[in-house]
Amino acid sequence: MSTSAPVREDPDRVELAIGGMTCASCAARIEKKLNRLDGVQASVNFATEKARVDFGPGIRVEDLIATVEKAGYTAELPPPPEPEPAAAAGAAAGAAEPGGPDPLLQRLRISAALSVPVVLLSMVPALQFDDWQWLAFALTGPVVAYGGWPFHRAAWTNLRHRAATMDTLVSLGTLAAFGWSVWALFWGDAGMRGMKHGFTLAVGGADAASTLYLETAAAVTTLILLGRFFEARSKRRAGAALRALLDLGAKDVAVLRGGREVRVPADRLQVGDRFVVRPGEKVATDGVVVEGTSAIDASMLTGEPVPVEVAPGDAVTGATLNAGGRLVVEAARVGADTQLARMAKLVEDAQMGKAAAQRLADRISAVFVPVVILLAAATLATWLLVSGNPAEAFTAAVAVLIIACPCALGLATPTALMVGTGRGAQLGILIKGPEVLETTRTVDTVVLDKTGTVTTGRMALTAVHTADGEDEEEVLRLAGALEHASEHPIARAVATAAADRVGSLPPVEEFAGVPGRGVQGVVDGHAVLAGREQFLADRSQQLPEELVRAKAAAEQAGRTAVAVGWDGRARAVLEVSDTVKPTSAQAVRELRALGLTPVLLTGDNRAAARSVAAEVGIDEVIAEVLPEDKVATVRRLQEQGRTVAMVGDGVNDAAALAQADLGLAMGTGTDAAIEAGDLTLVRGDLRVAADAIRLARRTLATIKGNLFWAFAYNVAALPLAALGLLNPVIAGAAMAFSSVFVVTNSLRLRTFQAARTD
């Protein structure tokens, strides 16, 4: 989008990269400024350093950028994708430019090297030689000026805009400590030759004119730089899963041009292009196999460990690995339309969101810094009135300024979301946003659509019943050959099973079909019939008693019975049904272990539904429901006081997924279902639904834990500092630790594992 873009007539959304933020109060301030514009709704994320802005007619992107810049920060549209997404993302998160030094690390190293002797000289009287204080002063100056320059610059910028942030507190505290020391050295008694300086962890001092705070100015600056370095590094690690996801795609591809292979960048592929995927190469984009057979390993994208066999006509997904033979694929989706791009977009969207508790933390952060400054001033005045000792009063006031840390509040939600959603993406679980996490905690009922969710959604041969004296393999050979000529799903199930059991099938001649009744043809000289019982009876082929019983039992269980006969005699009954996925029973057990009551929902007849329910361990069955009635069914359960999760994959599930308190869309299903779901399960294994709920609940618990400790830290630390129970150096170390603690706690989500790996 160029800076000369016209005024937009319809509501639009843009994502801006924000520069200059140093704490949560910065993000809250930018968000407040943007939201003051007419028709603008903005959300600013401190951890990802991005702003998502929805705006309407009359607002241009340039207006949004100008508003951010007027607030004292920078804003720009994210740069276009680079060849190495991971490197680009790392730079955006605060990493050093490729091949260049990390400015923050360089500043930290210099400050640490200068601060260590200052702290030792100030804290250990035995090391204090004549005029040691002047050496300490000479070493502290560069630390405060150079090491603390980012804080001072940001504080000055905020002051010009009549605002205060965390940098204001740090700058005030360190400059006050250094300024006091300058006064004591040049106009007090601290510069006298032979002066000794004791050290205590509590406030206090004998003579204000001989008290130095050089170690406070140097150590606090270095400790906060250290905290920011670890925080930046942890934030980069928090986003590593998303960067790895973005980096999965192929970088180049062999496109067929005039029968020749031409190597081009993968982003230049067009819909309809045919490209070659050799063994060991990644599929460049979503497409359909037009030539060759192979096994596709999708584990890096979906978490599914078993490779899937593909042949001409099968769909393949970009970024999956060709583990077998050479394939020629026709591109069906490119760019932002591919499954990989859509997964990445869902993860990024989730990371930009804010939980209800985080919105409260943001409001607190917006007023936190001014309150702390007032509290420091009140502490100074109170100590002066009570003790009359300026050194004690000053020490307590500086400790109050330095201990305050809204950064931890700002990092609590976004870092946990970054890690949780990134880990989910690695396991084939896409979380749409933090609001989803709140719902997972209260869900008590999970409604499972049967076809395609609990079952495979594909018909398969489940049993063969033969008349006395008939050979099962011969039945399959002749019936499979006949059905192979039909496109009906039941016919394909019989033909596939026959080919698997007996190998190659003979050709069929004089094939003919009667819609809704059956098919007939000549196979190896036999006149073969397959279809309904009446279809054979009309041709004088009555089922013997044993086959009548087998047919009745199959239909009682909800399966489809196919009668087979040839040469004037009924020979067998084949049972065909939609088979239950091998992992569905275990998935139901895992959902029950999470405290959820499973309900099977289907439009099939009650017999078929109860048969499937019994096989997977579900007690509550709602059958014979029309597609348009699924929403009403979910609503009825909600009216009973239940909090309902819905798992589905078809177009007819989309409305029910939206109606449910929590919608889980199987990624193997339709776009409509995926769009309606709150959680998207990339692969068709129902066990992932249980994993998704466990991950969402654990992410929510981490967010709440982060917020608790961030609030508790400030509630406990500020009174301690005001009462004079914290030395400023200890306060600086504790302040830096709080942010690192929150980010490190979030990183524990990277260890989340699926309940099983088989």
Q: Give the catalytic positions in this structure.
A: 449
- Two structure tokens written together for 585: 């029973």
Q: Which of 463, 447, 690, 681 is nearest to 579 (CA)?
A: 463
Return the amino acid letter for 383: W
Which residue's structure tokens are 């407040």?
A: 32
Return the amino acid letter for 565: G
The partner residues of 16 in beta bridges, in order of sequence, read 51
Distance CA 251, CA 247 (A): 9
Cβ atoms of 591 and 539 within 8 Å: the answer is: no
What is the SS3 assignment for 632-666? Answer: HHHHHHHHCCCCEEEEECCHHHHHHHHHCCEEEEE
- Two structure tokens written together for 266: 């993968």
Distance CA 400, CA 731 (A): 8
What is the SS3 assignment for 379-392? Answer: HHHHHHHHCCCHHH
Alpha-carbon dihedral sign for residues 44, 46, 47, 49: positive
**H or E stretch covering 322:** strand 321-322
Distance CA 212, CA 184 (A): 7
Distance CA 248, CA 297 (A): 13
Which residue's structure tokens are 């804003």?
A: 75
Q: How far is CA 443 from CA 214, 353, 357, 374, 660, in A?
A: 56, 21, 19, 45, 10
First-last CA distance in the chain:
46
Give SS3 for 524. Answer: coil
Cβ atoms of 40 and 34 within 8 Å: the answer is: yes
What is the SS3 assignment for 400-439? Answer: HHHHCCCHHHHHHHHHHHHHHHHHHHHCCEEECCHHHHHH
Return the amino acid letter for 111: S
- Two structure tokens written together for 317: 């997904």
Q: How far is CA 448 from CA 378, 453, 646, 688, in A?
A: 60, 7, 6, 13
**H or E stretch covering 13:** strand 12-19
Return the amino acid letter for 439: T
**H or E stretch covering 263:** strand 260-265
The partner residues of 149 in beta bridges, in order of sequence, read none
Distance CA 539, CA 564 (A): 12
Task: Tell me whether strands 252-257 and 260-265 are parallel, antiparallel or unpaired.
Answer: antiparallel
- Helix/strand number for the chain, H first, E second: 26, 26
Return the amino acid letter for 317: T
Alpha-carbon dihedral sign for residues 468, 474, 480, 483: negative
C-alpha torsion angle, residues 352, 355, 357, 359 (rounded to 10): 50
